[in-house]
Every structure is written in C-alpha cells, then in structure tokens.
Structure 1
C-alpha cells in the first residue's frame, strides 16, 4: 500500500552529509481541503498510475449536490472534498452528540458548522488541517484522520501536478533517534532543546528549497534572526509535528523566494510545545562566498594559529634550503598569514635570513607553495624553534592559506580580542 511508512527527505535539502543527522520526514505543503472536478478528474488523475489513482480516490470524496450548493454556492460543477473533512452532521448524529459533548466542544463546532435547514449541521467554511483533526477527535471519528505519511504522498502528487494550497502552510514530523551520539550522549528523558532547534532549522531550510524554489546547489539561505519560546518539554515517545507558515516578503522574477519570515510551531498531542520565528533570505552561493571571504580576510590576519590538536597528521610540510637544497624536517607549531614557527629536532644551527622554499599540505586537500626566510631561532631542549616569514606567496596560495587557517587551526588567545 502507498505511504505505509514515513517518507524520508533528501539530506541535501537540509545541508547534511549523513542520513542519521536528518531530523525531519514527511515534509509537505498543506493539502487543499477541496478540489474542483475539473482539476481532480482532468488535471490530476490522468497523470497518475493506477495505484496512485486509487490512493487519490480514497482520500478525496465526491461531494453530493446538496452539500455542494450549501457550502459552495458560487461554484458550478462537481467538488471533491478531503476525506477527513465531514461536510454534514445529520440531525440524528447531532442529537446523539449533543448530550455527549462539553459546551467548549460545541462552541468550537459552531465556529465551523451552521444549520443546514434540515435540523442538521453543515460546514460554513473550509477548516485548516489542525482544526480538521480537532473536529474528528471531538466527534470520536479519529479513524477518518489521514496519516501524516499519506498526507506527505498526497502533497507530493499534488505538487507534481502543479496544484497547491494558497495558505503557504507546511508540515513535517520530527525524527528522534535516542541513540544519536551527539544529542543523546547522556541519558535524557525528553528531547534535548538543541535537537528541537535543529529540527526547526531543517524544516525551514527544506521548505524554502522545495516549495520556495531555491536550488540548494546554487543558493545559500542566510538567517538574520531567530526567536524561540519553549512552552513545554517535548517527549520523544510521542509523535512530534512541525507546523509552519511562510510570509514571503520578496520574490525573484521566477517566483523564487528571496526574503521570508517563517513562523513555526512544534505540536505534540495537539498542544503547543515550542514556537519559533526566524527571518531569512536567499543569496547566491558565489556571492555568499565572496562576502564571507572578505569578512574572513579582514579578521584572520589579526591572529596567530595553532594546528588542531585533535587532528594530528592532517597537515604536512616540506622545507628546502635554497642555498644547499637540503630538506629540513620539523613539526608545525604556529602559523599566521605572515609567518610560521616550526620545531626542528637536532643540534644544527641555521643562520637567520637564510632563504627557503616550502610546500604545505593540509588534509591532502589544500596545498600552499612559496618562499620564506628565517627570522628567529631559539633552543628548546634538544630541538630548535625556528621562525620563518613568508617572502613570496601567490594570490592563489594565499587564498589556500586562509582556508587552511579557517579549517585546520585554532586561533591563539590574544589580549586585543579577549
């Protein structure tokens, strides 16, 4: 059967390299509560295979003429209604339920239903998805609720057919793996807050890429601010639903979202657990890289750096004396955009100002080649600590050096920036 299990999303939509770090599934847009007969019969069904057609016909029901005229008085032609929406509550049904329901429940129902002229009730508007579910729970009709995995498939079919709800509402489910080595590195009886925030971030990214038509390979989504309110703890043994609305402030000519405000809620057992709001904008990755590179260049020269202690062996270097072409072995101790310091084992003394050429390799990914000269020598036990300054470094090698400092080193604490 179609959609019997949760539908995973592509890890690239949330900028992840490992599947275990994807924290959402069943991503979808809000399902339109109704479809015209023309759209359903002429535009959607012909594009589907037989199994998908059966699936769609089970989730959308043809509305009878009386209900169509009452609910959609300005509509001509046939209407298909989402199967989890009850268009009419007959007189006998209303009479039986009246004595069972609380005044609060009746007040909620009266917000969505009106007298149908036959002592029953009829919808006076289309409820959103959360209210659809609440109505079914009030009326003890939970068996009619369409599963989230099925709604994800419905959404995908409608998306492929070019049919979308105009409310810009989106949904997903949170995936909680209590064996995750980062989020559950120690026992926790609820979902960690950082995991909740990351799931919401992924929900926003995936929504923008898929429904905002922002290609993940070409564009970066920049977040300008993030506002989070925790109302209650999120339990990992119960289903977790993410619900979001998107206010598109600016679009490109193609329709792609350029600037958005996203308002998300994390719902558990129909109760608000967390509310999240963030502003974001899409920017071409090439432009983003230029902006970040300029910012990085302005700051990185103010510090000296040490290689990461948790990644020994990831950097290698070769140093050669340009006078006698002897190679010098040693260990990199410090480096900056201007100079570097190495530790050389042995008792040989090297003359200051002697010129060398060098080749640095970081993780066999970045290579830096240039010339340098000695500026200082100090003895430390059986080793020499030798300082070198760069004397000849091409623009490309300098760019590689900046990237290496960013990826493979850590800044040494500086009083100017403490």
Structure 2
C-alpha cells in the first residue's frame, strides 16, 4: 500500500473518504527541451540551478531532458526492438534520412519509458525530481507551459465497489471515475477557481478503450484541456484523460461540462418535495428517534418513514395516553451532520405489522430548517410511496362543503 500523503486530497476530487481517492503521485509533464538562455537569464540560486542541471543536459543552445536522446538512429531503434514505435515518435521527433531529431517540446512519459531501452538513456526522473524541476521552471519567464498533469492510478483490487466481482482487468467504470477525479484535480489547479466556489456539471462523456487495462501493472493518467489551454475562469470544461500501461494507450476519455457558481447550483438543486410523498431512510441517518414533548415526557422508537410534513416511527410497546396538546420536538442523528431537531405539532398512534406505529405531524418549519430538512430527504432517503389525499365523505354533497361556495342557483322568492 502507498503512503496516504501521496494521494490527491479527497476534497479536491469531491470525495468524503480517503479510501475513495483513486489517484496519487501527481506531477506535471516537463518540457523535453528549453532554450538555455531561459536558465542563463533567470539568475537562479545555486540550489535551484542544481535541480535543473540534474534533470537537463546542455545540447548546443538548448537544454534537453537527460532521459531523451536528441538524435536517434533508425538502426538504433531496430536494434532496441522499437521500430514499431516510429509512428508515435514522429509526434515529437522529425525524421531525416537515417535518423530522428528531437523537435517537439512535449514528449509523453510513455514514450520516455520506451526510449529508456536505448543505450545511455535509462536514467528517468522519478516523481519527486519531476516535482522539484517543475517548481523551479513554472516561475521562469519564457519557459514552455502546457498545463498537463500526470497521476498514477491507485488500483486497489479489494475496493468494495469496483471489485465486488472478481476482475482480471481494471473495470471500465473505474477508469471513468479515475478520469473524473483527475479532471477535478486538474481543474482546480489551472482554472483560477477556488475549491467550493463553483461546481462542474457534466454535459457529455466520450470514452474509448483500445486495450484491456490489466490489474497487475501500473497505470498512469495524463489529463489536460482537450484542444488548447483553457482561459482562466472559463465557463466551459473540455478535458481529456489518457491512460497508459507499459507504454501503451489503454483508455482515452473526454469530459465536457459547464462551470456553475455555487449559489446558482444550489438554486438549481433546490427540489420541492410534495408533503404527500413518503421516503424510507438509507445509510447516513440513524434509525433511533427520540421525541421530547412539552409536557416533559420522552418517547423513543425506530425511524420508519419521512416526509416534508412528518415522520413515522415504530415503537415496541404502546405509547399510552398522551397529554393534549402533543407538541414537542423530535431528534434524529445524521452521521456527517450531527443532531437535527424538528418541531412536532401532533402525534397519532396506530397498530402496525411489527408493533405500534407513531405518526408525527411536524409544525411549520422556518426557512433555514425547511431547507435543511429538504436536504436530508434528498441525500439520505429513497421514495417509498405517495399518500393519497383524504377523500370527502360519500354522504356529504359537494355543495355542503364548508370551504366551497354553494353552486346552487338562488331560488326565486314568490310574492
């Protein structure tokens, strides 16, 4: 198992527990080369200059990443068994008559790992070194910047969700969740928005899985903006996550979304529940319920159903005679929120299939408590049924109801 501090923070990827974080060892992609003049003009202190010199070597008027050859003979490729890599090398090397010349500023770590098979280029930088180099280069004027982030997938095959069924490969659903987490981490580092200032609403998700992702080997994830670097505080999200295993692309996922400021997001998610709808409690809310009446009496039971207008609980024994009026408060405990108290207007006891049922009618809730209770129903419950409206008495004509004006015509008064 890895050290937990190597994982990305759970808040950054919108998770509540460290166990749910699936990415670690975050690092930036380093430029394959940069003009030597940038370092010469930067007046770096000796420690920072040593970090750069440990990672780059002088090659004419530029500095080249020490793990990358500037020139590769085609015969060298063949001898190392890398001839099949020529098409992807042409994305960053230019082909001459019998050799390749490094021209691209950005070379993928997967290509870098393959080129380590060439004689003299197996000294690849580790994660700590890459972070140190990036911290020096990011503040230098004129230094190439692309905003690409690498992560390593934390593939815990005992994960309760993704590996409930035994798999010999990483499930595609897990890769999609890893992509989402990596994109959130990338967004908060490069967008200009602070955590908690906005939410991202996913509009579209496109995925491709050219190969199975094996469970037995490391998987690295490269995430960045899809087409070009997004402008600071942009309102649209278009990101791409590419997964590499043993130098090969195994998955490619694109996420498109919109940035929504939190006050707007909360208004959009402000669901109104019909008081006739009843819900069953799920995980996150304790089933033990305590009622304190104004008379000083206490009642306890197990939570059965909830609605915006009331609660239903089961009691092991009869409640007995209740004082009138039966006003008071009911107390429930939410695992991540603590105790919540709701005002009770009345109680009604009845027989149930497993004992006695106690139905609580809530008093009017103020705006803040009403919002809080609505969030409880939204997050901790699942719909059970809708209670039908009480029917009118069959023997009572419609025109005799007290809340409706009489539809009968006025009778003529005879003289």
| TM-score tier after normalising by the smaller chain length | 0.7 to 0.9
**1:276 offset after TM fit, Å?**
0.8
Contact 2:111 2:247 (8 Å CA) reproduced: no
**1:162 offset after TM fit, Å?**
7.0
Q: Given the alignment, which residue of 88, 113, 125 partners 2:71?
A: 88
Cα deviations across residues 249-290 of structure 1 (Å, max 9, x unaligned)?
Answer: 8967xx234312112221212222112111123333343233
**1:402 offset after TM fit, Å?**
1.5
Q: Given the alignment, which residue of 104, 127, 133 partners 1:126?
A: 104
3-state DSSP of counterpart to 2:138: helix
| Change beyond 3 A, Cα 1:160–1:236 | farther
Instruction: Please list, as runs of the form range in 1=range in 2, the aligned pairs for 1:357-396 lying within 5 A after superposition.
Output: 357-363=328-334, 365-374=338-347, 376-380=348-352, 383-396=355-368
3-state DSSP of counterpart to 1:401: helix
3-state DSSP of counterpart to 2:364: strand
Contact 2:344 2:363 (8 Å CA) reproduced: yes
In 1, the alpha carbon distance for the partners of 2:196 and 2:261 equals 9
Q: Given the alignment, which residue of 371, 374, 378 partners 1:402?
A: 374
Q: Given the alignment, which residue of 308, 314, 318 partners 1:346?
A: 318
1:291 aligns with 2:268: yes
In 1, the alpha carbon distance for the partners of 2:157 and 2:43 equals 40
3-state DSSP of counterpart to 2:340: strand
In 1, the alpha carbon distance for the partners of 2:120 and 2:245 equals 19
Contact 1:241 1:267 (8 Å CA) reproduced: yes
1:60 aligns with 2:21: no
Structure 2, unmatched stretches of 5+, are 389-415
In 1, the alpha carbon distance for the partners of 2:354 and 2:66 equals 82
TM-score, normalised relative to structure 2: 0.75
RMSD: 3.8
Cα deviations across residues 180-232 of structure 1 (Å, max 9, x unaligned)?
Answer: 34433454322233322221111111111112233224332322222222222
Cα deviations across residues 89-131 of structure 1 (Å, max 9, x unaligned)?
Answer: 5xxx66776788787666776773355xxx8756272263138
Cα deviations across residues 321-340 of structure 1 (Å, max 9, x unaligned)?
Answer: x5x55444444332211122
3-state DSSP of counterpart to 2:217: coil
| Change beyond 3 A, Cα 1:369–1:152 | same
3-state DSSP of counterpart to 1:337: coil
Q: Given the alignment, which residue of 323, 336, 340 partners 2:307?
A: 336
Count residues in correspondence.
379
